[in-house]
Amino acid sequence: MGRAKRVSFGPLFVDAGSLTMTSFAASEVALAPAFIEKSPLERYAAPAQPSLVGMSRELLAQALSEVGVPERQRRMRVQQIWHWLYVRGAQDFDAMTTLSKVLRGALAQRFTLARPQIAAEQISVDGTRKWLLNLPGERADAPHEVECVYIPETDRGTLCISSQVGCTLNCTFCHTGTQRLVRNLTAAEIAAQVVVARDRLGDWLAAQPPASAGGVRGAAHEPEKRLVSNVVMMGMGEPLYNFEAVRDGLNVVADGDGLSISKRRITLSTSGVVPNIGRAGAEIGSMLAVSLHAVTDELRNQLVPLNRKYPIRELLDACRNYPGLSNARRITFEYVMLKGVNDSLADAKALVRLLKGIPAKINLIPFNPWPGTKYECSDWDQIERFSEVIFAAGYASPVRTPRGRDILAACGQLKSASEKLSARERLALRAMAMTD
């Protein structure tokens, strides 16, 4: 099939999930939405008194300039503030004891150390935590909302963060994809999600004075010793449609003198925005995950409508040319298992053929149900048979254990609480929590 011309419908979108799922003949694929991306409804509205939390070094230097710090002192002062923000987790300027009282007072008059507010917290039976965060909206009484999920495991703690309020795309199996796109997050809002998680989990170094006036370079806080050791950009939104903010926010997260999460422990997930995949490798340098989910353009057009713009061949060519790609830095291909849709052994064999020559891991994701979806998760025996075909071809094919299903925190389920559940949906969620 040829590419579809992009048509923007602003806030309007078709509930493609309501299309029949019993057959995926070409005639039904043609019923998929003709448009690909949604347009943002709003823009970021900066508060009158901005927060320093999430700012890059360059923006911190600019903030110091605004309060009259001489240029010759700014680099040292930036390092001091950086340490207090991203190593100690300071929540008020008085805690920054390596700064003079005069400077602390000047900063407090012009700026804050406010974080995104946690409007609600849900804790799953498996320990997964989901936070609904309030962000500034165009009206003070109507904050924007995003979700952030923390997944504890024995060897790591993974934080799943968002890049947009809502999502640009319309993937039909994804709960977040049914939400409108309100706006892109700023770089500071992206980095601040890690700060909020460390606040909530008590994941900062002990509040003791730094060893030097400039702070401790490369402070000893190995990722394995931190509750938040890994970050995945797999929350709400398509990261590569908010490229500059994602790049700048993740660079704050990866800075070795601050939050210090190695780029090898940061994974950016995309549905396949081909022009920005190479840029992500060159300018961000994180690990890459690609939401593939189908082995033919006809089916992927239905599941991931972005495929109409960037079909599978172009997507895989971009993956083969991803900067830094090697057996040590493999691309993860995400493949959600949908019963009777994409889970046949013929699909498994076709997937192996498609990815030939790409250092890859194939992450099989049992479909996480959400209220109103028409899809079902593949039977476990079928998932195992599918995995065996891939493993026999020489690829790692782990099956992702569903986490946080009872609080709609699992992969593909994120959707902010601003979209209220109906009584029927609440009953469905309650039943899901009792059976999973």
* Sheet architecture: strand order including 157-160: 117-123, 129-135, 144-152, 157-160, 230-233, 266-270, 287-291, 331-337, 360-366
User: Do the beta carbons of residue 334 and residue 367 sit within 8 Å?
Assistant: no
Q: Quick one: which H or E segment has residue 230? A: strand 230-233
CA 76 from centroid of its chain's CA atoms: 32
Would you call 224 a catalytic residue per the annotation?
no
Structure tokens at 344: 């046949």
Q: Quick one: which H or E segment has residue 385? A: helix 380-392
Strands (E), 319-399: 331-337, 360-366
CA distance 78 to 176: 37
Strands (E), 102-208: 117-123, 129-135, 144-152, 157-160, 164-165, 183-184
Helix axes 243-254, 187-201, angle to 10 degrees: 40
Would you call 147 a catalytic residue per the annotation?
yes
Alpha helices (H) in 186-322, listed in sequence order: 187-201, 243-254, 274-283, 297-303, 312-320
In terms of C-beta density within 10 A (0-12 exposed, 13-18 middle, 19 or more buried), how is residue 60 classed?
buried
From the list 147, 189, 238, 334, the catalytic residue is 147
Residue matched to tokens 């019993």: 22
CA distance 415 to 132: 10
From the list 174, 319, 377, 411, the catalytic residue is 411
Task: Write out the catalytic residue numbers.
Answer: 147, 411
